[in-house]
């Protein structure tokens, strides 16, 4: 089975945590891209772009559990990232990050709005998974469901 077939079968489960995780991957790419693009503004927008960039880097470790196994990180950081294993925890961090980026509109409307929109969607998907009582289901393609445990 190829990657696209694997992803397709995951989406067919109708588990909102899978939708949230893949939206989170898009959010990672978008946060890093618009964070770098907006860091060159000569205004307070620099603060929001740095926060967006850091958010993208943090989300990499939250969404791709395999990286916690292969990257040298501190125990404190690992414990912090593991707090967001549940649907509600992930919804909370995504919506918090989205709120910060929505506030950036007050300073200067910019492409950070795109990151805010995608972070909001990801947070809503995880929130819906929690409300519907769906168990968190990590994508096998991204290192969930036993792949990370096979390395150790």
- Measure the CA–CA gap between 75 and 87, rounded to whole angstroms: 22
Is 26 a member of any domain? yes
Is 3 a member of any domain? no
Is 2 a member of any domain? no
Is 10 a member of any domain? no
Is 139 a member of any domain? yes
pLDDT bin (cut points 50, 70, 90) of residue 96 is: very high
**In sequence order, which residues have a C-beta less than 8 Å from that of residue 72 and are 6 or more positions away?**
none
Is 8 a member of any domain? no
Q: What is the residue range of 108's domain?
A: 15-70+80-151
Is 4 a member of any domain? no
Looking at the structure of the chain, the number of domains it has is 1
Is 108 a member of any domain? yes
pLDDT at 8 over 60: no
- For the chain, what is the largest distance between any 2 Cα atoms, rounded to a whole number of angstroms? 49
Range in 59-63, 66-70, 90-94, 113-117 with the lowest mean pLDDT? 66-70
């Amino acid at each position: 089975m190829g990657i696209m077939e694997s992803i397709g079968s995951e989406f067919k489960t109708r588990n909102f945590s899978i939708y949230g995780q893949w939206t989170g991957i898009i959010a990672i790419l978008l946060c890093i891209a618009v964070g770098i693009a907006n860091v060159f503004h000569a205004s307070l927008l620099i603060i929001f772009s740095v926060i967006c960039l850091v958010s993208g880097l943090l989300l990499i470790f939250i969404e791709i559990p395999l990286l916690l196994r292969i990257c040298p990180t501190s125990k404190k950081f690992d414990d912090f990232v593991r707090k967001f294993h549940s649907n509600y925890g992930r919804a909370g961090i995504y919506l918090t990050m989205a709120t910060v980026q929505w506030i950036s509109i007050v300073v200067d409307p910019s492409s950070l709005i795109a990151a805010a929109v995608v972070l909001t969607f990801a947070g809503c998907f995880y929130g819906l998974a929690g409300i519907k009582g769906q168990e968190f289901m990590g994508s096998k393609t991204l290192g969930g469901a036993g792949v990370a445990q096979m390395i150790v």
